[in-house]
Amino acid sequence: MIKVLRKIDKPLFFTTVFMYVFGLIMIFSASYVKAITASDNAYYYLIRQSVILIICLFAFLFLINIPMQKYKKHYKLIMYFSIALLVSLQFWGITVNGSKSWLSLPFFNFQPSEFAKIALIIYMAYYYEKNRNNKDDYKIALKPFIFVFIVFALVVIQPDLGSAIIIFLLSFSIFCGVPLLPVAKKKSWRIIIISIAIFSIIAVILFLTGKSGLYEYQLQRLNFLNPCQRYTEVGTGYQVCNSYIAINNGGLFGVGIGNSTQKYLYLPESYTDFIFPVIVEELGLITGIFIILTYTYIIFRILKIARSCYTLSHGLICYGVAAYIFWHLFINLVGVLGLLPLTGVPLPFLSYGGSYALCLTLGLTLVQRINVETTIMRQEEKIKNKIRQI
């Protein structure tokens, strides 16, 4: 155990620990008003998230010792299992905030769509490594998108548009890292673009004919411009408008931790999707910029590990985890800032929630395990070079 931990990427590890701990502090600050009104216990969400992070720590210590060869051996099974979990929602799922996206577990509700994202990363990485000698066959290159489409469809019908969009973007991010020959790449992208165009046309037609299948609250999210005007006129744009107020209240240095006014039930999701405006209100815009720079550093460290990998699968897994963090960060921030419609996507490390914290920990553990194995291979290579020189 100690030998393995010595070989992890320490800057990445300590930065992620810092973000988790900072997130825990801000979850308590943002949630205690809701906790008192809902459960008469100001520490309700703090305790639950603390337990989740302890579970995450033990999961990391256990998973960091599992060789990547195990995932390679069972990558198809992992994909099938994630699809089975998504299908099970139709029979045993519970509805939260209008989406049947959760399985009820003893301590918290588990969201299979989060695990499906990690499963797709693992599946696509090992599939492309297995077929790395078929760089000129666009059909083989596009085969994983059968599973992408199945997962995407199962998430859409929940409905969970935020996770569906991330699955879509995540899959293409991984595909972009696959080394294909120019002809195969060109044909693949041509088919992808045509498919996207067809689905977009169908979606527009359904939307215009009023048969989009979206709930009223989801349709309102599409009208995301001028949220404060819509807030005063027709009652929509409520959360985004209060997000603006929170950020404006914070200024450069904030009103002080614990002193946010918008968390007093003005922002209903202040400790989940809208935790960033609360952070800026309490600690200021400078802290908000620092947090974004910290995310940038985490992604940089992951990509650095990816570039040092000896195998295609390891590199693609690292790229996938980096994309997993980036797209959650991007979609959350553009949503709370009113630049795009809200989709209910959590902010990495900082938002309350067990499913995302566990799956994010799993993704980061995969990256750290890859760094461990890369370090071992590099050390063995140095020893071999020394022997040759002798």
CA-closest candidate to residue 105, choices 115, 113, 94: 94
Report how far apart, in Å, the C-alpha atoms of 96 and of each of 35, 93, 286, 290, 330 are. Answer: 18, 10, 34, 33, 23
Q: Which residues contact 248 (CB under 8 A, 6 or more apart)?
A: none
* DSSP codes of every residue in 29-73: HHHHHHHHHHHS-TTHHHHHHHHHHHHHHHHHHHHTTS-HHHHHH
Give the span between the Cα atoms of 357 and 55, in whole angstroms. Answer: 10
What tokens appear for 390 in the block? 């002798």
Q: Which two tokens stand for residue 383?
A: 């020893």
Lowest mean pLDDT among 69-73, 114-118, 207-211: 207-211
Token pair belonging to 183: 């002809």
The pLDDT-based confidence of 372 (bands split at 50, 70, 90) is very high
Task: Please state whether beta strands 99-104 and 94-96 pair in parallel, antiparallel, or not at all (unpaired).
Answer: antiparallel
Q: What's the confidence (pLDDT) of residue 384?
A: 75
Q: How confident is the model at residue 175 (pLDDT cuts 50, 70, 90)?
A: confident
Burial 13-51 (b: 16+ CB within 10 A, else e): bebbeebbebbbebbbbbbbbbbeeeeeeeebbbebbee
The pLDDT tens digits for 87-110 are 998 888 887 777 788 888 776 788
- Residue 257's CB is within 10 A of a number of other CB atoms, namely 15
As beta bridge partners, residue 104 has 109
pTM for the complete prediction?
Answer: 0.88
Task: Name, in order, each residue with C-beta under 8 angstroms of 11's C-beta and a sequence gap of 6 or more.
Answer: 301
Report for 131-140, 246-255, 346-355: range of highest mean pLDDT: 346-355
Residues 213-243: tens digit of each pLDDT: 555 544 455 555 566 655 544 444 667 777 8
Q: Compute the distance between CA of residue 262 and CA of residue 232 in angstroms, rounded to an integer.
A: 17
How far apart are the C-alpha atoms of 289 and 300, rounded to whole Å? 16
> What is the percentage of the chain residues whose pLDDT exceeds 90?
38
Q: Please tell me which residue, 187 or 72, carries the higher pLDDT value.
A: 72
Lowest mean pLDDT, pick from 93-97, 186-190, 308-312: 186-190
Q: Cα torsion at 203, 204, 210, 216 (round to 10°)?
A: 70
Among 136, 92, 135, CA closest to 110:
92
The tens digit of pLDDT for each residue in 269-283 reads 788 888 898 899 899
**Structure tokens belonging to residue 302:** 């992951």
pLDDT at 290: 95
Identify the CA nearest to 312 among candidates 181, 133, 81: 133
Q: CA 197, CA 204: separation in Å to the nearest integer?
A: 11
The CA distance from 58 to 66, in Å, is 13
